[in-house]
Amino acid sequence: MTPLLHTPSTNHSQGALGGIAGVLAGQPLDTVRIRLQQPNSAFSSTLQCWRATVAHEGPRALFKGMAYPLSTVALQNAVTFHAFGTACRWMGDCTGAPLPTSHAMMAGMAGGVVSTLVQVPVDVLKIRLQLQRTLAGMPGHVGPVVLAHSILQRNGLAGMVCVTQWCNAMMVIAIIVLPKHHHR
């Protein structure tokens, strides 16, 4: 029996819903993780950080910075899956047959590199929003649009895309993928 192939819109919808569920489920622990990883963190454990955050800022503080990832998760997944499919076609694997493991790995890597363009700016804003000690509507709180504008004014595009990581990812693609498949 031939497996049912999903349309791109079905894959996109499923990816968006899965991404939204992942953001909702993981955001509180991600907020705690970000705070624990700060060099000047006063917390000695995950539980202590969780309790102190809720006690001093309320339970909503665990979800700081979540609106921006929620609003972009569908785009992130669409970019990743599109880049993967494009890489498969670029390597000549568009017959519908299962990909050899090496091709699947390279196509997945290409998808990851391309999706970095969308995901890194989202993470930069999310982390900076998570580190704020004020909630929306309180004095001193900065929202994602104002924060993005501030970062771009101060540091330019490099402030939003973590240039070092991007350059490393591009080097991996250039060294591994291009020489082996440039003839196709």
Mean pLDDT of the chain: 77
Task: Give per-residue burial for 73-88: e unless 16+ CB within 10 Å, then b.
Answer: bbbbbbbbbbbbbebb
Size (the chain), residues: 184
Evaluate whether 93 touches 103 at the Cβ level (below 8 Å). Answer: yes
* Share of residues in the chain with pLDDT > 90 (%): 16
Q: Is residue 59 part of a domain?
A: no
Q: Is residue 44 part of a domain?
A: no
Q: Check pLDDT > 50 for residue 24.
A: yes
Using CA atoms, how far apart are residues 74 and 18, in angstroms rounded to an integer? Answer: 9
Q: How many CB atoms lie within 10 A of CB 160?
A: 17
| Rounded alpha-carbon distances, angstroms, from residue 127 to 14, 121, 130 | 26, 10, 5
Per-residue pLDDT at 162: 58
Q: Is residue 132 part of a domain?
A: yes
Q: Is residue 128 part of a domain?
A: yes
- Count the domains in the chain: 1
Per-residue pLDDT at 107: 82
Using CA atoms, how far apart are residues 25 and 15, in angstroms rounded to an integer? Answer: 15
Task: Give per-residue burial for 109-130: e unless 16+ CB within 10 Å, then b.
Answer: bbbbbbbbebbbbbbbbbbbbb
Domain that holds residue 168: 66-181
Q: Check pLDDT > 70 for residue 183.
A: no
- pLDDT average, residue stretch 33-58: 91
Q: Is residue 111 part of a domain?
A: yes
Cβ-based neighbours of 3, under 8 Å, separated by 6 or more: none
- Gyration radius (Cα) of the chain, Å: 20
The pTM of the full predicted model, rounded to 2 decimals, is: 0.60
Q: Is residue 90 part of a domain?
A: yes
Q: Is residue 108 part of a domain?
A: yes
Per-residue model confidence as pLDDT tens digits over 128-170: 888 887 777 778 888 888 888 988 898 887 777 754 555 555 5
Per-residue pLDDT at 45: 93
| Rounded alpha-carbon distances, angstroms, from residue 63 to 66, 69, 168 | 6, 11, 31
Q: Is residue 164 part of a domain?
A: yes
